[in-house]
Structure 1
Amino acid sequence: MKIGENQFHEHRMSKLVKGAVVPRPIAWVSSLSSGGVANLAPFSFFTVASMDPVTLCFSIGDGEREKDTLVNIRETETFIINLVTEQLADQMHESSKNHSPDVDEFHAAGVESEPGDFVNVPRVKESPVHMECTLSQVVEVGSGHLVLGRLVGYHVRDDVYMDVDKIDPYKLKPVGRMAGDYTYVREFYSLPIGCMKQKKS
């Protein structure tokens, strides 16, 4: 099957694209409203935009109302990206629900918060990696908004840190986003094919 742009309206392109662009990492973004209400929400259109300066980006889609994450980031120009692990998957899912702006989603999701060290935003205490960011810019892309943030602080838990400045993927146990579901990330291999890495004892 081939589909030209003039035929996109005949198909559910969102499902076709999301089903092919996998697995996707999840940015579990914490932010704070100007009134001091903590917000926590996951976004799977997430990656590194630059390493000089270190810049992370994630995309916020459209909805019935502007998402609290976008409102907060525009107001405070700060946010934190927390990584989602297997142990935090259910809590992440709970935070994806459409809570009202006055709800503290750390409490709703059942996770603990602790203050950021470099920005005035709470972070998920249980997450092994936190990346504290200041807003670089918000780029409107069609009906979506691409948020680019400059990394100003990085936290990694000792048990997932490897010398020298590496993350142990076996201990990190990240969660990936598929189309409508999620995936474990547990096996790794090197190229050429056949050089399967064995889990460390």
Structure 2
Amino acid sequence: MHLNPSTLSESELYKLMSGAVSPRPIAWVSTVSKKGLFNLAPFSFFTVASSKPPMLCISIGSGEGDRNGIPKDTLTNIRDTYEFVVNFVPYNLIQEMEKSSKNYDPCIDEFIVAGVNKLKSTIVNPPGVKESPIQFECKLENIIPLGKDHLVIGKVVHICVQNESYQNGKLDLIKLQPVGRLAGNYTHIQNIFTL
């Protein structure tokens, strides 16, 4: 089967690409607005952009649908403050992460909605998720408009990792059980193998 992207609807393209590019890790991003309002939201268009200097990148959608074209709070907050935290999502926090994924009014604190606690960051202003085993504190490096989306690139300026998850310079991924996105579904690491 050969498909011409120009003949597919946006929905068809999204479903095909998000299903084929999987599993995708999830960045659980915490930010603070100019007014000091807290925001927490997950993004699965996420990966490492560079290891030296350390950078992470997140693609943030345009805010269509029930947002009526208003940019997502995460993007607005990063544009305004130049800071954010990427929190690791383990399997035991999947329900909390899902609760924070809905479209809420900017005055709603998703930390409270999700039932998670704030962890004071070391360098940046936005707090991390205390229950998450890893927090990457980031300073904005660049925002690149790509079609209707925005590629946000952040330089990692501090990392907080739970002691029991990080031994001899390596993460225990079986213990951490990272969650990934499979189109509209989720998965988590249960088996690791080498070739």
TM normalised by structure 1 equals 0.92
Give the deviation of 1:144 after TM superposition: 0.0
Once the two structures are TM-superposed, the CA of residue 51 in structure 1 deviates from its matched residue by 1.2
Q: Deviations over 1:100-136 (max 9, x none)?
A: 0001110011100121111011110000000000000
* Separation of aligned partners in 2, 1:158 and 1:23: 26
Q: CA deviation at 1:186?
A: 1.1
Q: Distance in 2 between matches of 1:185 and 1:42?
A: 18
How far apart are residue 153 of structure 1 and its match?
A: 0.1
The 3 A distance-change label for structure 1 pair 35 and 169 is same
Instruction: Provide the residue aligned with 2:141 in structure 1.
Output: 136
2:121 matched to 1:116?
A: yes
| Cα deviation code 1:74-111 (max 9, x no counterpart) | 11100000000111000000000111000111001110
Percent pairwise identity: 48
Shift of 1:52: 1.5
Q: Could you list the runs of 4 or more consecutive aligned residues of structure 1 that deviate by over 4 angstroms after TM superposition? A: none
The partner residue of 1:92 within 89, 97, 104 is 97
What SS is found at the alignment partner of 1:127? coil
Deviation of residue 145 (structure 1)? Answer: 0.3
Gaps of 5+ in 2: none
Distance 1:105 1:49 in 2: 27
Unaligned residue ranges in structure 1 (runs of 5+)? 192-201
**Which residue in 2 is equivalent to 1:186?**
190
1:186–1:34: structure 2 CA closer, same or farther, 3 Å change rule?
Answer: same
Taking a change above 3 Å as real, the CA distance of residues 149 and 11 of structure 1, as seen in their structure-2 partners, is closer
Distance of 1:95 and 1:10 partners within structure 2: 25
1:172 aligns with 176
Aligned residue for 1:170, secondary structure, equals helix
Alignment size in residue pairs: 190
| Partner of residue 199, structure 1 | none
Q: How far does the alpha carbon of each residue in 1:1-26 deviate from its partner, in whole angstroms, 9 at most, with x for none?
A: 21113322397111111110000000
Is contact 2:5-2:13 (8 Å) kept?
Answer: no
Equivalent position amino acid for 2:182 in 1? M
For residues 146 and 10 of structure 2, what CA distance do their matches in structure 1 show? 22
- 2:23 corresponds in structure 1 to 23
| 1:147-193 C-alpha deviation (Å, 9 max, x unpaired) | 00000000110111111x110011111111001110021101111xx
Distance 1:134 1:11, change over 3 A: closer
User: Which stretch of structure 1 is more off in the superposition, 2-11 or 133-142?
Assistant: 2-11
Greater C-alpha Rg? 1
TM-score by length of 2: 0.95
